[in-house]
Structure 1
């Protein structure tokens, strides 16, 4: 009896996927940026030059200082180090993206699977009409409306973004599930008596995972951008907790003289979005069927 060598097979798959991912050098750069942001957020108390500046701290003697060797990104109007606050703000930004996608993706995928598999039935009609209603409203406007009704804080900001995010996954999975329901392997599973759950999660869902993972990687940056937009108008994290959007908003009142208060937090937002977008491109290439090198 021959026992399959699962470790060698796993290693081979990892090497193959890494080869496909690394063919795009920009994706490797994106991965490096994402890892750097994540590590910076996790190690913020040890990396930040002045960790105490991320909380209730005032130092008017060093207020409104331009970038220098002591304060690489300058200080704000009450003397807090901009760089330290940017580093700590990564925590809230990544936490929001994690929570929003952890809720929106399963909900959207499940609804999309149900609507796609039961296409033409009342289940399809109800789910997709509700989805269309949400998609008809501009996402940022919907998030602002929901957040404005709730008390302004990080939790409610995440609720607002989650409510506007799941329909995109429902619409995407709906299209794929509608097509897959007519494939021979799905029809065959139905004919041999497989349950609905088995068909949905063992037959249909695995064939939808590549686009889902790609979209998730791309969405992290955009969730962070929406969260920053809510913070910019005062509907996200509240002071003294550092937030990229709030820092941009506060600094914009002192432009162009104190440009560093706005420019550096804005560059941090751009860096995060760029990193996750490049990573998403690499994930798409890695999960694509077939290798370009063999075509």
Structure 2
């Protein structure tokens, strides 16, 4: 008996059941062709973000650079996406903007997801108690205000910068995970395996992290994949009104805002940064749909 248990432990993640589950997940994910497209778009976005300084044709155009002799050049062989009103290569600046957009989404979710998840677990497991009431009423207050309005209010109080725009988005993002995990934890906390853990004397921390949390991971991971696109859009919105990344560092929203004043003559100043935003958002949304299908127990 003990020998069999030891063999099971040694198999670890490479046990036949785990490998079979991975095959099922891969099959479900690959059935949705848009999910595969989204995965490719996300990989390209990550590649641009990581290697932007090395692959752009004009890295000197990323910072403070002026070349009025080549200002307002239409897309062509010299400048694939054209040049802006200061003579900077828009292609180089668009590619570099992937870095800031991806960084914002990572920082926001790395902070907001654990905070929201922990609060949701506490409120859901202690359903009907004072902890539930306090946490969920505070959550409801944050959710009652439109997300963009709340982020704009917070960012406008702080000094405009990339860091403060991340802080503003993070403050308004955690309640969505608290609400999500709260609903999952509330339903799971009454299951037999949770009651059995309580009867054998397991601590509340053990029950929340080992018994309840694993049952919440699927919706959390799905929402995270979908939220990356929304965070990028939120960051671009703050940058558009001057509350995000500050010049001369390029950012999608800032570039779109700058180009709007030169429409329709220098249309490429606005169109190509907008395409960059859409590229990232579509990629992560398609990927999120694939992850949702992957964890869908009703799928075949």
Confirm or deny a common fold (TM above 0.5). yes
Equivalent residues in 2 for 1:2-81, closer than 5 Å: 3-4=7-8, 5-6=11-12, 7=14, 9=16, 10-81=18-89
Matched, 1:255 2:263: yes
1:160-188 per-residue CA deviation (whole Å, 9 max, x = no partner) reads: 00000000000111111111111111111
**CA-atom RMSD in angstroms:** 1.1
How far the C-alpha of 1:290 sits from its partner, in A, is 5.1
TM-score, reference length from structure 2: 0.95
Structure 1: 5+ residue stretches without partners = none
Match of 2:143 in 1: 135
Residue 295 of structure 2 corresponds to 287
> Equivalents in 2 of 1:191, 1:103: separation in Å?
34
Aligned length: 292
* Alignment partners' CA distance in 1, 2:281 and 2:299: 27
Q: Distance in 1 between matches of 2:19 and 2:220?
A: 24
Verify: 1:176 aligned to 2:184, yes or no: yes
1:11 Cα deviation from its structure 2 partner: 4.0
Partner of 1:162: 170
Map of 1:93-104 to 2, 5 A cutoff?
A: 93-104=101-112
Distance in 1 between the 2:15 and 2:176 partners? Answer: 38
Alignment correspondent of 1:113 = 121
Aligned to 1:147: 155
Whole-angstrom distance in 2 between the partners of 1:45 and 1:106: 32
Q: In 2, Cα distance between the equivalents of 1:137 and 1:186?
A: 35
Q: Can you list the C-alpha shifts for 1:69-108, whole angstroms capped at 9, x where unaligned?
A: 1111100000000010011111111000000000000000
Q: Which moved more, 1:13-22 or 1:196-205?
A: 13-22
Query: 1:50-87: per-residue Cα shift (whole Å, max 9, x none)?
Result: 11111111111110111111111100000000010011
CA distance in structure 2 between the partners assigned to 1:8 and 1:121 by the alignment:
41
- 1:91 matched residue in structure 2: 99
Corresponding position of 2:200: 192
Q: Is residue 219 from structure 1 mapped to residue 227 from structure 2 by the alignment?
A: yes
**5+ residue gaps, structure 2:** none
In the superposition, the TM-score normalised over structure 1's length comes to 0.96
